[in-house]
Amino acid sequence: MFGFTRKSGQRSPTDAVRRALESDGLPPGIADSAALGVTESHGNYAGRKVTYIRVFDPARAAEAGLKIQTYADLDAHPNLVLRKGHVEKDGTVVITWRAPLPGAETPARQAADRAMHTDGQFVHPGQGR
């Protein structure tokens, strides 16, 4: 009646999620979006009820000896998550995060030059680390 017993487990991607993944570009080494697993968790986004999703490769999880069944199972294994997003009540799929491509370099960070902040703004030591 209230959906309390509804479980949020691992599933194959729905057609809408598959289209969104294919439109977004499949991760390297993934030829078919149907081979991916999706975990779900119900929640709110900007005051709207949505279903949060995490997309992962079940084959990679199995190679690591893991059985991913719930959304929370991926909390301990964020390296397995390929995409994150949510599904709106009307079925619209929104991809909000993509795993970085293998070998992608993280841009080097540079310390702020405090002498450049003469407009009353102050860069706090330790901020942004």
- How do residues 92-124 score in pLDDT, each as one tens digit? 999 999 998 877 676 788 887 767 766 666 556
- How do residues 50-83 score in pLDDT, each as one tens digit? 999 999 999 999 999 999 999 999 999 999 999 9
Look at residue 1 in the predicted model and tell me its pLDDT: 39
CA-to-CA distance for 116 and 39, rounded, in angstroms? 47
Look at residue 73 in the predicted model and tell me its pLDDT: 96
Phi, psi of 62 (to 5 degrees): -65, -40
Look at residue 39 in the predicted model and tell me its pLDDT: 97
